[in-house]
A and B are shown apart, each in its own frame.
Chain A
Amino acid sequence: QQKVQQSPESLTVSEGAMASLNCTFSDGTSNNFRWYRQHSAKGLEVLVSIFSDGEKEEGRFTAHLNRANLHVSLHIREPQPSDSAVYLCAVSMMNYNQGKLIFGQGTKLSIKP
């Protein structure tokens, strides 16, 4: 069974500094990876989806995937207080059913003004 672990559990970063979140997974045949943001008591907002090794940028959000190291990260450039939320890493192994996701436990990010 695929295991997805996120670190750190919580992170506080000053406004404008780079925020970096990590996610490790156990199955190297996984083929798609997503980062979601969840504001308190709200739904999930997809930030970046990445399907091959390397980097994928969506605005201020950049994902880095290294399948050999079983690692995917999310970097948030110039974070703002409105970016304070829980960030969830999700991994899928199925090309035809990519909603079958295994989630990490989340990283709670706080941005200090």
Chain B
Amino acid sequence: EAAVTQSPRNKVAVTGGKVTLSCNQTNNHNNMYWYRQDTGHGLRLIHYSYGAGSTEKGDIPDGYKASRPSQENFSLILELATPSQTSVYFCASGEGRAEVFFGKGTRLTVV
């Protein structure tokens, strides 16, 4: 079965600190995505990747970096975390016209 695994599932970070959210997929998909979900906004695309070594900006990339070191792994990096980045973050993988699979989410609180 298609699987996207996120870690950690919950994270509390301090303002100004560095945060790394990790995502691993076993679907052998080329495309991977990071979204954030906030009340009233649905899910919004932050960064995505077409394959190892590639990262592209999504609709709301400011304050975030991404890294795709391998086919399986895609990380979201907050170099200087701010309280406005408190949210639930979802990773997803997909390929062509096939289904898009989402992880269970990471709840990030920046204090």
Interface residues of A (CB under 8 A from B): 1, 4, 32, 34, 36, 41-44, 46, 49, 51, 88, 90, 95-106
Contacts and interface: CB of A to CB of B under 8 A. Distances in A.
Interface residues of B, number: 28
Q: Tell me whether chain B's interface is mostly helix, strand or loop, or mixed.
A: strand
A6 B110 CA distance: 30
Interface of B: 31-33, 35, 40-45, 48, 50, 58-59, 90, 92-94, 96-100, 102-105, 107
Nearest to B104: A43
A49 B97 CA distance: 10
Contact of B100 (A51, A101, A102): A101
A44 to B, nearest CB: 4
- Which of B43, B45, B58 has the largest number of chain A CB atoms within 10 A? B43
14 contacts: A4-B42, A43-B102, A44-B102, A46-B100, A49-B99, A98-B97, A99-B33, A99-B92, A99-B94, A99-B100, A100-B33, A101-B100, A103-B35, A104-B42
Contact of A88 (B43, B94, B103): B43
Interface centre among B42, B99, B104 (most CB of A within 10 A): B42
A98 B94 CA distance: 7
A32 B58 CA distance: 18
A90 B32 CA distance: 16
B47 to A, nearest CB: 11
